[in-house]
Amino acid sequence: MYKKALTENILFVIFLILGACVFVYSRFTGLEDLVIDPTYIVPFDKKQFYFKTVFVAFFQGLFILSFEKFLHKKLSQHLIWKKRIIWVLGVFILIFLNIFFISIFYDVLFEDFTFSQAFKAIRTLIQTNLFIVFLIYFFSFSAFLSFLKHLRELFGEPVLLNYITGKYENPIEENRAFMFLDLNNSTQLAEEMGHLKYSNLLNTCFKDILDGLQKFDIEIYQFVGDEIVFTWKSETDLNNKAFKIFSKIEKNLQRKQKDYLLKFKMLPKFKSAVHLGAVSATIIGGQNYKEMAYHGDVLNTTSRLLEQCHLHKKKIVFSENYLKNQTNLIDEALQYLGSVQLRGKQSYLNIYGV
């Protein structure tokens, strides 16, 4: 598990624990409702109840994270409404079973209950209004945290955080690398497949391409037709991050070769261009629509670099600006392609390719 993903999962569990404890604290005045069976008084202790809650929340966080991973892996091709229904039912069942078994084992292990006493205690708890309210609260809080988690995955952690903090309301200069990834022979493929099948191809490609890229700490700036634009701050890239990303993408697509040949009768291949330089970063748009934007010659130059892939028959082309930022170039096949004048440019740029 990647370090950032592990940190995110730990925070998810911690927030679940804190949220559950806040609920218990806010309901202390009503906890006498636990005593509803005069023949069996449920031993109540605030400390004990907090400990149980922490255990329940801890395991619930692990269960939900595992359950979401299972849904993503097993049901990725299903309609979104089906996945949501399964998520709702699954999480409700997980919460109920988790409370049930944690309470029983806690009482047996730490309170010297027999299994019969522990079972009767949890059965008594389940009959109270407190349990129903706790179940609903726990589900709602779990759903809220999962929503935030998926929102971050949708927009990317930096983008979401920037919206919340308002960091880029005014333009800020940043030194960034940009990587344009473009599908080869896209016009021909679109004509041969038709727009619906071609869109299906792009959607499948993009899902496979992005698999596992979280570990590189990059942002997806834009999806532009058959092209993806990645970006990251230059100080996070000293060991040729771009080449590692491209290698990972090639492995992802190669791993799905049989699926592509069966479904589309071809294996998609991509070319890429990488450049680095200063840009202005800001949030643009009006009241009802805003998005993150980067302005500067770097983006235009990177787009023009893509044309050099075809001219020099290279999979990926780097500008000298980008390579100068690296302390460790990992690929021995890197070739100097010359000093070129890109289309629409007056100056020359030294470029390299693999």
pLDDT surpasses 90 at 117: no
> Could you say which of 133, 155, 177 is where a domain stops?
155
Looking at the chain, the whole-number percentage of residues with pLDDT higher than 90 is 15
State whether 107 and 209 are in the same domain. no
Residue 8 C-alpha from the chain's centroid: 10
State whether 31 and 122 are in the same domain. yes
Residue type, 180: F
State whether 15 and 145 are in the same domain. yes
State whether 42 and 106 are in the same domain. yes
State whether 312 and 172 are in the same domain. yes
State whether 109 and 193 are in the same domain. no
Report CA-CA distances (Å) from 130 to 126, 138, 141, 339, 341. 8, 12, 16, 73, 72
For residue 23, give every residue at least 6 positions away whose Cβ sits within 8 Å of its Cβ, in sequence order, or none.
53, 134, 137, 138, 141
Is residue 230 helix, strand or coil? strand
Looking at the chain, the whole-number percentage of residues with pLDDT higher than 70 is 83
What would the mean pLDDT of 289-295 be, rounded to a whole number? Answer: 81
Residue 220 lies in a domain: yes
What band does 39 get if pLDDT is binned at 50, 70 and 90?
Answer: very low
Q: 256-275 pLDDT, tens per residue?
A: 899 999 998 889 999 999 99
**What's the CA gap between 301 and 259, in Å, rounded?**
35
Instruction: Look at 339 and 156; give whichever has higher pLDDT.
Output: 339
For residue 68, give every residue at least 6 positions away whose Cβ sits within 8 Å of its Cβ, in sequence order, or none.
87, 146
Report pTM: 0.69
State whether 148 and 182 are in the same domain. no
Highest mean pLDDT among 19-33, 133-147, 300-314, 332-346: 300-314
**Long-range contacts of 141-144, Cβ-Cβ distance < 8 Å, separation of 24 or more:** 141/16, 141/19, 141/20, 141/23, 142/16, 142/60, 142/64, 142/91, 142/95, 143/91
In the chain, the number of structural domains is 2
What band does 199 get if pLDDT is binned at 50, 70 and 90?
Answer: very high
- Lowest-confidence range among 294-303, 315-324, 339-348? 339-348
Of the candidates 87, 49, 64, the residue with the CA atom closest to the CA atom of residue 13 = 64
Residue 160 lies in a domain: no
pLDDT surpasses 70 at 228: yes
Residue 8 lies in a domain: yes
Residue 162 lies in a domain: no
Residue 122's pLDDT is what? 80
Range of the domain at 34: 3-155
Residue 161 lies in a domain: no
**What's the CA gap between 105 and 122, in Å, rounded?**
11
State whether 196 and 319 are in the same domain. yes
The CATH number given to whatever domain includes residue 246 is 3.30.70.1230
Residue 81's pLDDT is what? 73
Pairing of strands 172-183, 227-233: antiparallel
What would the mean pLDDT of 318-335 be, rounded to a whole number? Answer: 80
pLDDT surpasses 60 at 38: no
Q: Are 104 and 119 in contact (CB under 8 A)?
A: yes
> Could you say which of 102, 128, 155 is where a domain stops?
155
pLDDT surpasses 50 at 37: no
- Side-chain half-sphere of 289: how many Cα atoms within 13 Å? 0
State whether 142 and 244 are in the same domain. no
Residue 206 C-alpha from the chain's centroid: 14
Residue 152's pLDDT is what? 66
State whether 39 and 103 are in the same domain. yes
Q: Are 305 and 342 in contact (CB under 8 A)?
A: yes
**What's the CA gap between 217 and 168, in Å, rounded?**
19
State whether 262 and 286 are in the same domain. yes
Pairing of strands 290-295, 335-340: unpaired
Instruction: Look at 81 and 203; give whichever has higher pLDDT.
Output: 203
State whether 24 and 115 are in the same domain. yes
Residue 136 lies in a domain: yes
Residue 316's pLDDT is what? 92
> Could you say which of 116, 131, 155 is where a domain stops?
155
What would the mean pLDDT of 11-33 be, rounded to a whole number? Answer: 73
**What's the CA gap between 314 and 352, in Å, rounded?**
9
- Lowest-confidence range among 23-27, 98-102, 116-120, 250-254? 23-27
Residue 24's pLDDT is what? 73
pLDDT surpasses 80 at 242: yes
- Lowest-confidence range among 60-69, 157-166, 204-213, 345-354? 157-166
Residue 111 lies in a domain: yes
